[in-house]
Amino acid sequence: MSRTSVDAGQLNEMVQVITLREEPGDVWTWQTVRRACASVEISTARSLFSEVGIGARAAELVLRRQELTLHNALLWGGQHLFLTAIVPEGRTFLRVQAALVQPVACRVRATDTEPEMAFPGILTEKYARHAQDWPMSVNELLLVLVVPKEIVIRPGRLVETRGAAWEVLVPHELDAYKNEYEIGRTVDL
């Protein structure tokens, strides 16, 4: 979709603009703000939506100009689009780069000083390490949890997702629109 001009008739796909909102009980959910027409093109390239994890399939969209930031996301045909770039195109349109991802339900366990929190996150792979300890071996599983900027998790906390508890090992919180956390757990083989 590297065209220099946009034909409004090509905006033939319906997308939902969504934003993260907090509900009572420290529960965060994606909620629809509005619907919009867009032109959507899926790429064979990878979108590097994470600084420390592996990328996902990329998509490029064209929408009419509207209030849209990298704090938002889009839903298209049941697919979650994590926004990575928004560039104005002329006076009427926006060209949006996104990663096709699958959000997962996450829950941070409560501690004596911090409440429980539930939120949607995006997992991407981190390189796995393997250590041979006598007489058994141990596999250190590492993932990267990408969350909207509103979600802040202190290192050492446990995040429950994908049926297991993962420890937050390393935070990456300098991005203005998202936080990334290296999470891990050890599994005996």
When mean pLDDT is compared across 95-104, 107-116, 167-176, the lowest value belongs to 107-116
Per-residue pLDDT at 68: 97
pTM above 0.75, yes or no: yes
pLDDT in tens, 30-76: 999 999 999 999 988 887 787 777 778 899 999 999 999 999 999 99
**Distance separating alpha carbons of residues 51 and 89, to the nearest angstrom:** 26
